[in-house]
């Protein structure tokens, strides 16, 4: 689990596409987007119009706890 946490902490804003590729490793049953939206108090999902894809990052509260 520490490797998962370190991945999220070291990547300032990874793309959801990147997380989808790792979804089997993280054991997401419904995919990365559904998982992230299920925990809005932990993850902030946003759209980057420059790169035309959704990204996510930890919320300020989650960053303080991590």
Please tell me the predicted confidence (pLDDT) of residue 7.
56
* 55 phi/psi in degrees, rounded to 5: -130, 170
pLDDT value at 1 more than 50: no
* Model confidence, pTM: 0.67
Please tell me the predicted confidence (pLDDT) of residue 2.
55
Tell me the CB-side half-sphere exposure of residue 43, using CA atoms within 13 A. Answer: 20
26-54: pLDDT as tens digits: 777 888 888 888 999 999 999 888 888 88
pLDDT value at 4 more than 80: no
Please tell me the predicted confidence (pLDDT) of residue 10.
54
- Can you give the residue range of the structural domain that contains 19? 2-65
Into how many domains does the chain fold? 1
């Amino acid at each position: 689990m520490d490797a998962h946490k370190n991945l999220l902490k070291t990547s300032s804003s990874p793309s959801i596409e990147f997380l989808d590729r790792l979804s089997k490793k993280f054991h997401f049953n419904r995919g990365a987007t559904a998982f992230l939206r299920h925990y809005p108090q932990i993850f902030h999902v946003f759209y980057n119009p420059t790169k035309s894809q959704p990204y996510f990052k930890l919320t300020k509260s989650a960053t303080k706890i991590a």
